[in-house]
A and B are shown apart, each in its own frame.
Chain A
């Protein structure tokens, strides 16, 4: 770094002498600068030498052109995003963890429009590299790799086709899952011979990894896992087996479900049939425990320990066990029965696992009718409302929006508030506009309506889910502006949260639309 080795430079010997001190240093060698030193006192002379040589040395330092290894030129891959979008991204990055969702949105938009962040942001992105969303490598990965190389960092190792037989538990699980995704049959075939020699935690992790590419061919192996020494392995197998409707496990569960629930039909005198649901609560048994159905001693919800067993059995049973009657009938009778809660929730879990359209639709229909009081023998309770909201959540997003949209138009406030807690992550544009209209209607209503609106604390979270168009953001802002003065803080805080988030999301989108920006500058 310093050109101290050059023969003409007297700096290093002088510095060495100064470090030793005038009392111990050897007398100076005559040099080109020694004529400048006229002091008689040895300390003064050394100081003068140090000063003269130092200035001389500083004026002559420097390196030749060969000392520089210039960074390789970076080729621009795509066009840069508008400056407003870049500033926005930097602001979001400095905001930290709270803005991660927005950073993700930013990168999704950038990926969609094929734009890339400008170079002045690369280092900031590099510092946040570990927390960037999954879409970031497509948007800025090449640039960050280039910068890492230019800064002399070792290139990130690419661990493709890692060996699943070696490493830590997480590494092996990830590698095995990748193997399984490439070749499900081969992966299981490779696992079976060595499985018994592995330690319990590894066995557990590997059985969990079988969830990728699960097929009926895995059934014998998983069935064997039910008798494994380790509880974790048994648990993993019990989790996976209900997903295979043709398995022995599913057959056992179907038989138990049929034993527990039967529908008795009586022909009435004047035509038509009455159906009653006969529930036989199951007994605790070792075979049940082997299949993962055990008594929870602390179970209080829904009728006690044996009702808990019933719910667990129904939840693990394949839906074909109930094929002899239509789903509608099962659910209606379940709601009416003495054991409504365990039976409904058991069937609900079974339907949730497979997302069977007939069952989910039937559930949503019946619970809706039940809450509206159209099913005889079922009272309108909050439990039924909760079941309705859960059942709606199983529907596809479009179907959910259609049904909730109808509820909104019907101004069913308590129902809408209950179902808004669940449902799709992101709403469509049309549904968002309808929802905002409804919010405007409710906030302009009576005090009691506003209190109801504020109570379940669902409004604030809507900001993340509404469609982030400028119109919607403006509608939300108008909501807040028109909120009557003196309104309690609860609703105002929630609406302010909604407006803030929605505004930011709309602004991020606006940043990416260069037409409007350039249009404005052209005018101004």
Chain B
């Protein structure tokens, strides 16, 4: 298996290491290049006294380097992979250090497996129950407080609330964090941003966005108060939205969903000091959607995941929730895509229906993935945006995607012109997240190729990944 240059460049943590990695991608800078299977290695002279030893596994993709850079992957790792992408490195006998790394990886994987198989430590049932009860109590208190706060907001009116400083919202979010409901805290912290945002195409007006956000909070609050009335899956979904973690025992009991999962796109978001990476997958046989979220910090890099445009043949386990979306990787391996299509893509009307159905099941959802088949991209006709909205959108062009059954506005994104350029005015398949107002595209299929939005940074290009 091999990665394309574009895919490797997208692994870079930032623009400067992307460029630095390209600088290292010259075979003459490297010594002792070699490979065994998907593992490649080489030595490169850096500013240190002795050459850096770099080894990378393309199947991960993962890499290790002796340079002191704290970026991951470092420019040498990127450069090594780029050298291989330009022309495949020849097979060779691994030197000690490369062999040691491969062995270490194998033994770590084996250790993780044995740890998973080991019988769990005896648990103190009573202490656990006590802890659980204590958390329930704290969350219950936080819910009461949020309810009171929301009612107070409604009494005073949203027009007054829009003038509140950030500290007003942050205080409530902080109390929810104390009350061990981080999911609610995140939603509350997002409210001032919604209220203060400039009007943009593909998004509700700021006051409407605030109203919708408060409405979702109220619905979630209500559902959390009546967990007993919900089905177990729905209740689990509500608990996840409140911010209860899913325990390892719970996950271990979840069934496997084996399929050939097409990796459509990666999306990376920075959430205070955390890097959250979503991998979006669609089952080629089942048509099921899955989102695998991994978190990385400065100290611990993101775990390896199949790149956009690859196929993950194996099993996913879905976290409890209704409708199911969040998942984790189980056994399986990544390989080249069988076919550049978006499985389960349908017309705009069908996508809108499925979004409404999803809302009916979980009305507090903020965004939901949609798949559109053979839509054309273009601008919203002036008549459609109407005199009122048009004046508010100002000079920003309002883009949309649609077919003969209707159209969806596209959420503002600086990379939309690239999307339009690649579509070239012809019908394309589109994958993105829909929030009821705007579609935020992540991947596009045209002419037998899959193009993905770059996961990181605001590069004004699309990546052809398959």
A82-112 contacts to B (CB < 8 Å): 83-84, 87, 90-91, 94-95
Taking the closest CB of chain A, its distance from the CB of B237, in whole angstroms, is: 15
CB pair B218–A48 under 8 Å, yes or no, is yes
The answer on a CB contact under 8 Å between B424 and A58 is no
- Given the complex, which residues of B lie within 8 Å of A257, measured CB to CB? none
Separation of A74 and B216 alpha carbons in the complex (Å): 42
Taken residue by residue from 425 to 466, chain B's Cβ proximity to chain A (1 for < 8 Å, 0 otherwise) reads as 110000000011100000000000001000000011111100
- Known: A65-B405, A71-B376, A121-B461. Is A47-B157 also a contact (CB below 8 A)? no
CB pair A2 B461 closer than 8 Å = no
Say yes or no: A120 contacts B421, CB within 8 Å. Answer: yes
B222: chain A residues at CB < 8 Å are 48, 51
Given contacts A1-B389, A15-B208, A152-B379, contact A70 B436 (CB under 8 A): no
Q: With A19-B158, A68-B400, A503-B26 known to touch, is A51 a contact of B352 (CB < 8 Å)?
A: no
Residues on the B chain within 8 Å of A94, using CB:
15, 18-19
Q: Min CB distance, B160 to chain A, in Å?
A: 7
Most buried by A among B379, B389, B397, B464: B379
A87 to B377 CA separation, bound complex (whole angstroms): 25
Kindly list chain B residues whose C-beta atoms are within 8 Å of the C-beta of A1: 201-202, 380, 384-386, 389, 393, 398, 409, 437
Q: Does B355 lie within 8 Å of A59, measured CB to CB? A: yes
* In contact, A151 and B417 (Cβ under 8 angstroms): yes
Given known A-B contacts A50-B218, A68-B400, A73 and B424 have beta carbons under 8 A apart: yes
Q: Which residues of B contact A151 (CB under 8 A)?
A: 379, 397, 417, 420
Cβ A60 vs Cβ B356 within 8 A: yes
Assess whether A246 is interfacial by the CB under 8 Å rule: no
A445 smallest CB distance to B (angstroms): 24
Scan residues 160-183 of chain A and give those whose CB is less than 8 A from a CB of chain B. none
CB pair B5–A70 under 8 Å, yes or no, is no
- Complex contact A62–B406 (CB within 8 A): yes
Q: Select the stretch in A38-46, A208-216, A258-266, A302-310 that faces chain B.
A: A38-46
For A124, what are the chain B residues with a Cβ–Cβ distance below 8 Å? 418, 459-461
Q: Is the CB of A68 within 8 A of B376?
A: yes
B197 — which chain A residues lie within 8 A by C-beta?
A: none
Whether the pair B155, A66 counts as a contact (CB closer than 8 A) is: no
Which of A1, A60, A73 has the largest number of chain B CB atoms within 10 A?
A1
Is residue A119 within 8 Å, beta carbon to beta carbon, of the partner chain? Answer: yes
B276 in the interface (beta carbon within 8 A): no
Flag A119-135 by CB within 8 Å of B: 1 or 0 each: 11111101100000000
Tell me the bound Cα distance from A67 to B402 in angstroms. Answer: 9
Are B463 and A120 in contact, CB atoms less than 8 angstroms apart? Answer: yes
Q: A2-B437, A67-B402 are in contact. Are A18 and B211 (CB under 8 A)?
A: yes
CB distance from B432 to the nearest CB of A (A): 15
Residues in A neighbouring B397, C-beta threshold 8 A: 151-152
In the assembled complex, A295 has its CB within 8 A of some CB on chain B? no
A42 to B155 CA separation, bound complex (whole angstroms): 8
Q: Which residue of chain A is the closest to B414 with respect to CB atoms?
A: A123
Residue A63 is within 8 A (CB to CB) of chain B in the complex: yes
Determine, out of A21-29, A270-278, A325-333, the stretch whose residues face the partner at the interface: A21-29
CA distance A71 to B385 in the complex (A): 17
The reply on B87 being an interface residue by CB < 8 A is yes
Cα distance A23–B205 when bound, in Å? Answer: 24
Q: Does B154 contact A (CB under 8 A)?
A: yes
Contact for B379 among A58, A71, A84, CB less than 8 A? A71
Q: How many whole Å from A351's CB to the nearest CB in chain B?
A: 45
Interchain CB contact under 8 A, B424 and A74: yes
Q: How far is the CA of A108 from the CA of B104 in the complex (A)?
A: 50
B141 within 8 A of A: no
A477 CB within 8 Å of chain B: yes
Tell whether A47 pairs with B359 under 8 Å between CB atoms, given A18-B211, A21-B156.
Answer: no
Query: Are B407 and A59 within 8 A (Cβ)?
Result: no
Residue A32 lies at the interface, judged by CB distance under 8 Å to chain B: no
Instruction: Assess whether B415 is interfacial by the CB under 8 Å rule.
Output: yes
A2 touches B208 (CB 8 A): yes
Report whether A524 and B437 are in contact in the complex, using a CB–CB cutoff of 8 Å: no
A74, B407: Cα distance in complex, Å: 21
- Judged by a CB distance under 8 angstroms, whether B150 is at the interface is yes
In the assembled complex, A493 has its CB within 8 A of some CB on chain B: no
| Nearest opposing residue in chain B for A120, CB measure | B462
State whether the Cβ of A64 lies closer than 8 Å to any Cβ in chain B: yes
Contact of A55 among B160, B363, B380, B421 (CB under 8 A): B363
Given the complex, which residues of B lie within 8 Å of A477, measured CB to CB? 28
Asked if A2 and B204 sit within 8 Å, CB to CB, the answer is yes
Residues of B within 8 A of A24 (CB): 157
Q: Which residues of A contact B218 (CB under 8 A)?
A: 47-48, 50-51
Closest Cβ–Cβ distance, residue B30 to chain A (whole Å): 13
**Residue of A20, A41, A69 ringed by the most chain B CB atoms within 10 A:** A69
Across the A-B interface, how many residue pairs have beta carbons closer than 8 Å?
235
A388-403 to B contact mask, C-beta < 8 Å, 1/0 = 0000000000000000
B384→A123 contact, CB < 8 A: no
User: Chain B contact residues (Cβ within 8 angstroms of A): what range?
Assistant: 35 or more
Tell me whether B152 is interfacial, beta carbon within 8 Å: yes
B159 an interface residue at 8 Å Cβ cutoff?
yes
Most A CB contacts (10 A, CB to CB) among B215, B385, B462 go to B215
CB-CB under 8 A from B363, the residues of chain A are 51, 55
Contacts of B352 in A (CB 8 A): 62
A235 / chain B contacts, CB cutoff of 8 Å: none
Provide the B86-102 mask, 1 if CB < 8 A to any CB of A, else 0. Answer: 11100000000000000
A residues less than 8 Å from B417 (CB atoms)? 122-123, 126, 147, 150-151
Please indicate the chain A residues that have their CB under 8 angstroms from the CB of B112 in the complex.
Answer: none
Chain B neighbourhood of A20, CB < 8 A: 157, 159
- Chain B hits for A59, CB < 8 A: 355-356, 359-360, 436
* B215 proximity list for chain A (CB < 8 A): 47, 50-55
| Contact between chains at A119 and B159 (CB < 8 Å) | no
Interface pair B421/A147, CB less than 8 Å apart: yes
Taken residue by residue from 1 to 39, chain A's Cβ proximity to chain B (1 for < 8 Å, 0 otherwise) reads as 110000000000011001111111100000000000000
A70 with B376: CB separation less than 8 A:
yes
Q: Does B338 make an interface contact (CB < 8 A)?
A: no
Whether a CB of chain A sits under 8 angstroms from the CB of B236 is: no
Contacts of A300 in B (CB 8 A): none
Given A120-B451, A524-B88, check contact A54 B211 (CB 8 Å).
yes
Determine if A157 is an interface residue (Cβ-Cβ < 8 Å): no
A428 close to B (CB within 8 Å): no
A520 an interface residue at 8 Å Cβ cutoff? yes
Q: Are A21 and B424 in contact (CB under 8 A)?
A: no
| In contact, A127 and B154 (Cβ under 8 angstroms) | no
Does A61 count as interface, using CB distance less than 8 angstroms?
yes
- In angstroms, Cα B216 to Cα A58, docked, is 11
Return the contact of B421 from the options A76, A95, A119 (Cβ within 8 A).
Answer: A119
Whether B157 contacts A68 by the Cβ 8 Å rule is no
Do residues A43 and B155 form an inter-chain contact, with CB atoms below 8 A? yes
Interface residue from B9, B154, B408, B423 paired with A21 (Cβ < 8 Å): B154
Q: How far is the CA of A90 from the CA of B10 in the complex (A)?
A: 13
Cβ contacts under 8 Å, A287 to chain B: none
B230 interface residue, CB < 8 Å from A? no
Q: Which residues does chain A contribute within 8 Å of B377, judged by CB atoms?
A: 70-71
Contact of A47 among B26, B151, B461, B463 (CB under 8 A): B151
Closest chain A CB from B463 CB (angstroms): 7
CA distance A44 to B150 in the complex (A): 8
Q: Distance (Å) between the CB of A513 and the closest chain B CB?
A: 14
Task: Give the complex CA separation of A25 and B211 in angstroms.
Answer: 15
Tell me the smallest distance from the CB of B434 to a CB of chain A, in Å.
Answer: 10
4 additional contacts (CB under 8 A) given A46-B154, A55-B216, A123-B418? A51-B219, A65-B403, A67-B383, A151-B379
Q: 23 A-B Cβ contacts within 8 A?
A: A1-B202, A21-B154, A23-B155, A41-B151, A44-B151, A50-B218, A51-B218, A57-B436, A58-B435, A58-B437, A59-B436, A65-B403, A65-B404, A69-B378, A70-B376, A83-B464, A84-B5, A122-B417, A123-B415, A123-B461, A150-B421, A152-B397, A477-B28
**Smallest CB-CB A-B distances: 8 pairs:** A21-B157, A67-B384, A54-B215, A58-B436, A70-B378, A73-B425, A51-B215, A59-B356
